[in-house]
Amino acid sequence: MTSLSLVETISLVARMHLKATVRPPIVILELRQEMSLCVGMAKLEPHIDETGRYLNIHQASKLLTGVSEPTLWNWANEGQTKFGFKLHIKRVPVEHHRYYRKGEAGAKRPMKERKLILEADILALKEILHAAGRTEPGPWSPYEMATLEARANALKRRERQLGNLHIK
């Protein structure tokens, strides 16, 4: 029995997939995620500068399970969460736009800049959401809002006591 190289294995799986009559879309999606075969989409690395490491909205939403991506987008536009936790947002120009196939409609409003959130803020927000018991996106109950506000204020106090004044 001989071992196959990665390229040979992928081509073998692709040939077997083409011959199959039933095409499970989940397998295709998993293969694309593992092998980064998404057409025209480069994987975005975190933006790092002298102030810290920044993640885009999509990367942040993958780390935070208690809020949806549109909610994070709104918070990034406002610069703070609904419960008063201040986010450090950085706007950087978009370097690469999404690839569109020939004949496919392009973006209606192409972005000129993308919003990035400081990774420390994302991790602090994750801690706040976890303490409030937030595991799924959805509407906020008054109890959850009170808990989130209390946790955000406690985190601000703790950061000030430690002398780390990046949270105001």
Name the residue with tokens 């975190």: 46
pTM score? 0.62
Higher per-residue confidence, 94 vs 60: 60
Q: Residue 118's beta-bridge partner residues?
A: 54
Q: Residue 115's beta-bridge partner residues?
A: 91
Is-contact 135 66, C-beta < 8 A? yes
Mean pLDDT computed over 91-110:
69
Q: Is 48 exposed, middle or buried (0-12, 13-18, 19+ CB in 10 A)?
A: exposed
Structure confidence at residue 97 (pLDDT):
60
**How would DSSP label each residue in 91-160?**
EEE--SPPP--TTS---SS--SEEEEEEHHHHHHHHHHHHHTT--S--PPPHHHHHHHHHHHHHHHHHHH
Q: How many CB atoms lie within 10 A of CB 66?
A: 19
Mean pLDDT computed over 112-139:
87
Q: What is the pLDDT of residues 38-81, one digit of tens each?
A: 444 445 677 777 788 899 898 898 888 889 999 999 999 999 99
